[in-house]
Amino acid sequence: MDREGLAELLTPEGYRLLMEIGEYSSSDSLAQGERLRKEGHSPALVSAALTQAQLRQAARAKFGEFAQDMLFTRDGLEQATRLPVAARHAHRLTAAGCEHIADLGCGIGGDAMALAGLAPRVTAVDADEVTAAIATFNLRHFDNAVARQGAAEDFDLGQADGLWLDPARRQARGRRSRGEAARLFDPEAFSPPLSWAVGAAREVRAAGIKLGPALPHDAIPEDAQAQWVSHGGDVVEVALWFGAARHGSARRTALVLGDGESIELNEEQLPQGDVPAGEPAGYLYEPDGAIIRAGLVGALAGPFEAHQLHPSIAYLSSDRLVRSPLAAVWQVRDVLPMNVRAVRDRLREEGIGTVEIKKRGADIVPEQVRKQLRLDGPGSATLFYTRIGPAHRVILAERIPQG
C-alpha cells in the first residue's frame, strides 16, 4: 500500500467501504471490484479496500479476531509476530520491571499492541512512513502507546528502560525489479544493523531482539540469552534477551507454544556426555523444530529413555511411547535399505499408496522419490530417509497422533 492508497482508505468513505466489504472471497473479488467502481468509488480506493479485506482474512492466523480491526501491508503481515508470541515478549519485558518500552522497527504494530496491553508506556517507531501510519491506526485503542516515523538509530535510548527491536531483514518490495521482498542475510544490512541493535540492548534495563531462527549458535553475543520459539509446530523466531530479561544462566533455550500450554527447555538440561546412538527401536521421535534449532535434542533423551540414530541427526528412538508436545512420534514398522526397488516392494506388500517422506542426513528430493516409487495402494505411511550409524537407511513408520 502506498501513501495515497492509505490516505483514501482512512477517509470516512474509505473506512466505511472497507467495513462493508466484510468477508473476502478470491472467487468474487473481480466482480466485487467492478460493482464497487460502478457505485462511484475510485479505482485506487476499491483496490486498497479489497487488498485490506484480503490481508485481514490472512491475518486471522496471527491475530485472531483482532485482525478485523487492523490494517496491514503485505510485508508487514508476513513479518509480524503472532499474537500469542508477542504476548510472551510483552510479559518478559514487563516482568523485568520495564516501565517505558520502545518498540524499534515496530512494523504494523503487532508487538507494540501486546506491549501496550501490559506496559505503562510504549513508544513504537518505524522508518517507513506508511507502515508507521498503519501502526498508529492499530494502536489507536491504547492511550498509553504512540507510534511515530523515524529511524531506530535516532531514538533517544535515555527515554526508555526497555527495548524490543525487530530489525528489518528483508529488502522492500518496491526496490527490486519484480517487486518481491528479498531476504537479507548480512546482519549489518538489517535495518537497523544487528551490531547497533545489540549495542542499544546493552544500554537499557532489559531488551529483546527478534531474529530469524537460522541464527548460528556462534553468533549469540556472550551477554545474551537466545530463545528459539515455535508456535503451533512452526519455528517462528529466535529472540536474543539482554539484561533483566534474561532467565537464568543458560545461553540457549527453546520455547514450545501450542494449545494453551508452553514448555521451555534450556542447555542446562542436556545430559552429561554424548547421547548414545543405535538402531531404531519401537518408536521414532522428531523433536520440535525450536528444540532442534537450539541444539537441545539431547535434553529429551533421558525423559524419553531414548537414543539417537546418528550423533549428528535429530531423530531419537525408544521402546517407550511418549506422547508429548515436544516431539512428534511414529511407530517403527520396518528398516529398509535405501534402494528404490526394495522400498517399493515393501510398500506394495503393505498396500501403501500415500507416503509422507521426511529426510535428515540423506541427499534425496522427496518428490522425485515419490515418482520413482509409483504407488497406488489404499494405505498410508511415513518414510524416513536418514543415517543409522555409517549407513543410509529408510525407516517405514506410522504416525501416532498426539493426545
178 pLDDT band (50/70/90 cuts)? very low
The set of residues, in sequence order, having a beta carbon less than 8 Å from that of 353 and lying 6+ positions away, is: 375, 376, 377, 378, 379, 380
Q: Which three cell numbers stand for residue 256?
A: 514450545
Q: Looking only at Cα atoms, what is the longest distance across the chain? A: 73
- In this predicted structure, which of 180-194, 296-310, 355-369 has the lowest mean pLDDT? 180-194
pLDDT of residue 18: 86
pLDDT of residue 184: 65
The CA distance from 215 to 34, in Å, is 47
Mean pLDDT throughout 216-243? 97
**318: β partners:** 283
Q: What share of the chain is helix, strand, coil (3-state, %, to 5)?
A: 35, 30, 35
Under DSSP, the state recorded for 98 is: -
Q: How would DSSP label each residue in 135-164?
A: HHHHTTT-TTEEEEE--GGGS-GGG-SEEE
Contact assessment for residue 208 and residue 92, using Cβ atoms and an 8 Å cutoff:
yes
Span 22-44, pLDDT tens digits: 777 776 778 778 888 888 888 88
In degrees to the nearest 10, what's the CA dihedral of 23, 24, 26, 32? 100
Strands 252-258 and 261-266: antiparallel
The residue type at 10: L
Higher pLDDT, 207 or 29: 207
pLDDT of residue 175: 45
176 pLDDT band (50/70/90 cuts)? very low
Span 44-66, pLDDT tens digits: 888 888 899 999 999 999 999 99
159 pLDDT band (50/70/90 cuts)? very high
Sign of CA dihedral 209, 215, 219, 221: positive
- In this predicted structure, which of 131-140, 164-173, 255-264 has the lowest mean pLDDT? 164-173
- In this predicted structure, which of 6-20, 190-204, 361-375 has the lowest mean pLDDT? 6-20
Span 255-275, pLDDT tens digits: 999 887 899 999 999 999 999
pLDDT of residue 20: 83
Q: Tell whether the model's pLDDT for residue 89 goes beyond 50.
A: yes
- Three-class SS of residue 76? helix
Higher pLDDT, 251 or 4: 251
Enumerate the domain spans of the chain. 3-72, 80-266, 283-400
- Is CATH 3.40.50.150 correct for 80-266? yes
> What burial letters (b/e) apply to 200-237, b meaning 16+ CB within 10 Å?
bbeebbbbbbbbebebeeeebbeebbbbbbbbeeebbb
Mean pLDDT throughout 72-94? 96
Mean pLDDT throughout 131-142? 97
pLDDT of residue 292: 98
Nearest to 150 by CA among 126, 181, 131: 126
Place of cell 535434553: 299
pLDDT of residue 181: 52
168 pLDDT band (50/70/90 cuts)? confident
Span 289-341, pLDDT tens digits: 999 999 999 999 999 999 999 999 999 999 999 999 999 999 999 999 999 99
Please give the mean pLDDT across all residues of the chain. Answer: 93
pLDDT of residue 263: 96
Q: Tell whether the model's pLDDT for residue 177 goes beyond 50.
A: no
pLDDT of residue 24: 74
pLDDT of residue 151: 96
